[in-house]
Amino acid sequence: MAKLKYGLVIDGKTYKDFTPKLLTIGGELAALDYLETAAPVASKIGQELLENTAYLAQQVEIAGVDVTPDLLLDKLASEDYYVINQAIEDLQKKSATA
């Protein structure tokens, strides 16, 4: 388990605890499905962020929260985006050496 710096505020409640997960094939397919229906972003960097967030939503669990790309885009602070990515990277390193 890891902790967000600012957390996600949903219906007045702040969620900070999360669990990073490795991306599964099912998670990748879910991200690709989301991206097929998402409105395109004008800038290249914005489009990359949208794509990364679609995958990120598949690699994080927050108890009591249905984590979706739209939720993360609307509620996740930029610094917490990097916190989650670092936790996933640490999990990947740990899993590779196990």
Domain of residue 64, residue span: 2-97
Q: Are 52 and 72 in contact (CB under 8 A)?
A: no
pLDDT tier at 58 (50, 70, 90 boundaries)? very high
Q: How confident is the model at residue 56 (pLDDT cuts 50, 70, 90)?
A: very high
Would you state the pLDDT for residue 40? 85
Reading the block at residue 14, the tokens are: 């702040």
Query: pTM for the full model?
Result: 0.90
Query: In this predicted structure, what is the pLDDT of residue 33?
Result: 96
- Under the banding of pLDDT at 50, 70 and 90, the label for residue 61 is very high
- Could you give the angle at the alpha carbon of 38 between the alpha carbons of 5 and 19, nearest 5°? 30
Q: How confident is the model at residue 96 (pLDDT cuts 50, 70, 90)?
A: confident
pLDDT band at 98 (very low <50, low <70, confident <90, very high): confident
Q: What's the number of domains the chain is made of?
A: 1
Average pLDDT, the chain: 95
